[in-house]
Structure formats: C-alpha cells, structure tokens
Amino acid sequence: MVLLFGVALETVSIPALLHFQGVRMLLGGDGPGYDRLARSLLDNGNFSDDGGLSVSRSIGYPIFLAIVYASSQGSYFVLRAVQTLLVILGSWALY
C-alpha cells in the first residue's frame, strides 16, 4: 500500500512541481488534446479541438478539467493537486 501510494504520488505531483517552478508540463499522449478541449469549453462553450467539433473523445474528462480550471483560474498546479488527491483516495479505496 505504501509503495502504491508513493508511486502514485510521485507520478502525479512531479509535473505539478515543475509547473510550480514555471515550466508548464503536460504529459505526452492525449493530455494536450484534452487540455485544448477543456479550454475550448471554457472559452467559447464549444467541444472543439482546433476549431472543429470533436467527436473522437468522450466529454467527461474535458468537463472535469474545465470545472477544475474554472474554479482555479486555469491553474495547472491545482489540477495536478486535485488529480493527486483522487489518486490517493483511489489507492486507499482499493486497499
């Protein structure tokens, strides 16, 4: 349990700490796309990626991101903190 908690905390919090130091770091893969969708929802209320309507992604995670961004003035650090909390609660619940 302690090992799981440590790995989860490290993988989620290190990018947040790097961002806190002034380096905005999104993990690779589909992270930047979800970030763009969430910011599009906030900016103009559209679920679009690069101007076109996005039908290739589920809307759930971008809505979660948009809610966190809206409540934290777009803070990536707060997003990573919330995700870290969810990882901690999830690992505790699985244990």
> What integer pLDDT is reported at residue 17 of this predicted model?
52
> What integer pLDDT is reported at residue 22 of this predicted model?
47
> What integer pLDDT is reported at residue 28 of this predicted model?
63
Dist. CA 62–CA 94, nearest whole Å: 25
> What integer pLDDT is reported at residue 20 of this predicted model?
47
> What integer pLDDT is reported at residue 61 of this predicted model?
92
> What integer pLDDT is reported at residue 66 of this predicted model?
95
> What integer pLDDT is reported at residue 55 of this predicted model?
75
C-alpha distance from residue 90 to each of 47, 54, 56, 59, 77 (Å): 28, 29, 27, 22, 20
In 3D, which of 90, 65, 59 has the Cα closest to residue 78? 65
Residue 66: Cβ-neighbour burial (10 angstroms; 0-12, 13-18, 19+): buried
What are the residue ranges in the chain where pLDDT is below 50? 20-23
